[in-house]
A and B are shown apart, each in its own frame.
Chain A
Amino acid sequence: MTQRGEKGEPIIEIEKLTTGFGSQIIHKDLDLTIKRGEIIGIVGGSGTGKSVLLKAIIGLVKPRAGSIRIFGEDVLQMSDREHRAIDRRLGVLFQDGALFSAMTVAQNVIAPLREHLHLSPELQQEIASMKITLSGLPLDAATKYPSELSGGMRKRAGLARALAMDPDIVFLDEPTAGLDPIGAAKFDDLIINLKESLGLTVFMVTHDLDSLHRACDRIAVLAEKKVRAIGPLEEVRKTDHPWIQEYFSGPRGRAALASSVQEQDSSGDKEARVE
């Protein structure tokens, strides 16, 4: 089941995807390939269907046409049973955590374990506490209810739940939205750290330019119902497209770039001094 493949091989392949609601078409013939072990950032203006794309991949929105292959298997042609087997290998962090409000954080984290596996209470407890601390929450947060947590903590708890089943791919819907800059930067570090240590593939919908600079290996820009540009940040920002130019060269885009360059410089200095 958790046969982890080679880094860099395609893990999600989307071909000619068309989605829409009513008479409105959201995506038209969209192609996107995500590689194992990367953090891919999905950006785009409001209403370009970033969240819809995420929902289409995890099976919450039914596409009108096209194919989506996860782990090399076509998820649109699957029976519900097969689809659930794939679902177990995906973790999703919804925008506000989407924690079950009637359960404590720890109960939230073990909810998928209870549902899918038969484990002893001790093992469940150990796994829950590991995921909770891995997500950067203190242990005493385990017995708190979601309504007692701050927004940032709810996101971390949501991430802990997303990681409960040891997913191969984690989907994050605007993970840093609503966090203060320090909290957002810590969350970025957490994602990078988890990617490194657990070998995760991360699909991240975000508006946060700093996140894009810091965390993402590749960036895909959604515009005009398609992926208009994809690649490392440096390549994407050179694309000749009015929205992309405005996005990366606007005042916020330049500020984020400046701060990330500065950071690289100072870390470079440090290395130089050590040598």
Chain B
Amino acid sequence: MSVAAFELQETGDGWRLEAKGTWSLGAGLGDIDGKLRRFSDKTMSKSLKIDLSGVETMDTAGAMMLQRTMRACSQREEMAEDNALFGFEHVKEGYKSLLAAAANHLSPCEIDVKQGSAFVLMLERVGRGTEELMYEILRLVSYLGEVLVGLYTVLSRPKRLRMTSIVHHMEESGLNATLIVGLMSFLIGAVIAFMGATVLAQFGAQIFVVELIGITVLREFGVLLTAILIAGRSGSAFTAAIGSMKLREEVDAMEAMGIDPLEALVLPRLIAMVFVLPALTFIATMMGLIGGGLVAWLQMDISPAMFLTRTQDIIVVENFMVGMVKAPFFAFAISVIGCYQGMRVEGSAEELGRHTTISVVQSLFIVILLDAAFAIFFMELNI
């Protein structure tokens, strides 16, 4: 198989282009395109004959390039619009229709969406981003209101609670997450103990490692790490599941049937999450204490019995309660945002990915914001 090539000859009244070889994209048409283009750019309004006797095979791109050259060079009046083979010689029977098809489809189109200058584009993006942020907050607050109203309606008529769905989601986002939550808190507890041991040893105050572990794990780490893990694990799953249901018009189908998507999709997830996150937090807290206690025992010779007694002595119930009371609020935030972002998905698979990302980022942000608010609140109350 030979590559695509052409030869030019100047004849008495114009040019003669002899096309040779395989005029298809796979055979190097792209390489001779520039040369052909330069020829047609500088050879305006001359008579051009294109001889195809040397062409072995030709594809649509080849036919298009030949037609383009022919049209560019011979813009003469006698050239009939409807005669696609004008100026071509020795055209094999099979390629006549190809050349004719190419002649009708020469006008170029835009490939990318038109964009302005980079600076204007940047300003535009900043503006749009700011506006979008404002609307996003408004929409989120309004969705929160919607969810609260829905929750009130369902709770006032408990028959409408979808127990099967709630239990399913409890298993999905709760039970199935126990292992990873427990393991993570265990390790975090251990790491805090190690860190504490090194620093406190310098002051000879190793025994205070019990306070360190107790207070950090009970008050903050237990609940915060659980919430972060669940936001990443289940919040994103909520968005993806509801989002793909929206993409496949399942949510529309529900509404058409008179089923409220809020009641069927959102509330079961929300209720399940509100029950399950405190339970996970409890497990996380206990595992954190065990992890810390184990390191204290192995590394600092604080026996488990001593660890427990000391923990009971100093760690008052308040610390535990401060941690636990935050869990349902975090759960609420994570599931509302997860479901809200899922409902916002429209159009394409790309959007689904984008909203899943936003869902996780927003949940994490809100969880940490709430945590900070709680910290200030409890400080004011002197708890």
Contact = CB atoms under 8 A, between A and B. Distances in A.
Contacts, number: 121
A117 B26 CA distance: 8
A3 B109 contact: no
B24 A120 contact: no
Contact of A101 (B68, B109, B350): B350
B381 to A, nearest CB: 51
Given A120-B34, A133-B107, A197-B98, A107 B112 contact: yes
A199 interface: yes
Nearest to A113: B25
A106 B110 contact: yes
A165 interface: yes
B322 to A, nearest CB: 46
B382 to A, nearest CB: 54
Given A1-B1, A129-B107, A198-B101, A166 B24 contact: yes
Contact of B111 (A101, A104, A117, A163): A104
Contacts of B347: 101, 147
A2 interface: yes
A116 to B, nearest CB: 8
Interface stretch (A138-146, A174-182, A256-264): A138-146
A129 B94 CA distance: 23
Contacts of A142: 109-111
Contact of A102 (B26, B100, B350): B350
A107 to B, nearest CB: 6
Contacts of B97: 196-198
Nearest to A144: B113
A165 B29 CA distance: 13
B30 A123 contact: yes
B348 A102 contact: yes
Interface in B101-117: 101-102, 104-114
A115 interface: no
Task: Give chain A's interface residue range (CB within 8 Å of chain B).
Answer: 35 or more
A233 interface: no
A52 to B, nearest CB: 22
A120 B25 contact: no
Contacts of B98: 197-199
B33 A129 contact: no
Contacts of A122: 33, 37, 108
Interface string A193-217: 0001111000000000000000000
Contacts of B64: 126-127, 130
A117 B112 CA distance: 19
Interface residues of B, number: 39
A117 B347 CA distance: 31
Q: By DSSP majority rule, is chain A's interface helix, strand, loop, or mixed? A: helix
Interface stretch (B53-61, B288-296, B324-332): B53-61
A128 B109 CA distance: 8
B192 interface: no
A163 B350 CA distance: 25
Contacts of A102: 348, 350
Contacts of B25: 113, 117, 119, 127, 165-166
B33 A123 contact: yes
B30 to A, nearest CB: 4
Contacts of A197: 97-98, 100-101
A127 B22 CA distance: 17
B89 to A, nearest CB: 20
B131 to A, nearest CB: 22
Interface in A128-181: 128-134, 139-140, 142-143, 145-147, 163, 165-166
Interface string B11-40: 000000000001011110010011001000
A238 to B, nearest CB: 34
B149 interface: no
Nearest to A139: B109
Contacts of B108: 122, 125-126, 129
* A88, A110, A113, A129 pick with most chain B CB within 10 angstroms: A129
B348 A110 contact: no
Contacts of A166: 24-25, 59-61
Given A118-B30, A119-B33, A139-B109, A127 B94 contact: no
A4 interface: yes
Contacts of A1: 1, 22, 24, 26-27
A143 B57 contact: no
Contacts of A101: 347-350
Contacts of A120: 30, 33-34
* B1, B94, B113 pick with most chain A CB within 10 angstroms: B113
A128 B27 CA distance: 19
A51 interface: no
Contacts of A106: 109-112
A19 interface: no
Contacts of B102: 130
Interface string B107-130: 111111110000000000000000
Contacts of B113: 104, 143
B355 to A, nearest CB: 14
A18 interface: no
Given A2-B57, A130-B102, A146-B348, A125 B109 contact: yes
A133 B26 CA distance: 22
6 contacts: A106-B111, A130-B105, A133-B105, A134-B101, A142-B109, A197-B98
Interface of B: 1, 22, 24-27, 30, 33-34, 37, 56-57, 59-61, 64-65, 68, 94, 97-98, 100-102, 104-114, 347-350
Given A130-B105, A143-B113, A197-B97, 19 more contacts: A106-B109, A119-B25, A120-B34, A123-B61, A125-B111, A126-B64, A126-B65, A127-B61, A127-B64, A129-B107, A130-B61, A130-B106, A132-B109, A133-B107, A133-B109, A134-B60, A143-B109, A163-B60, A198-B60
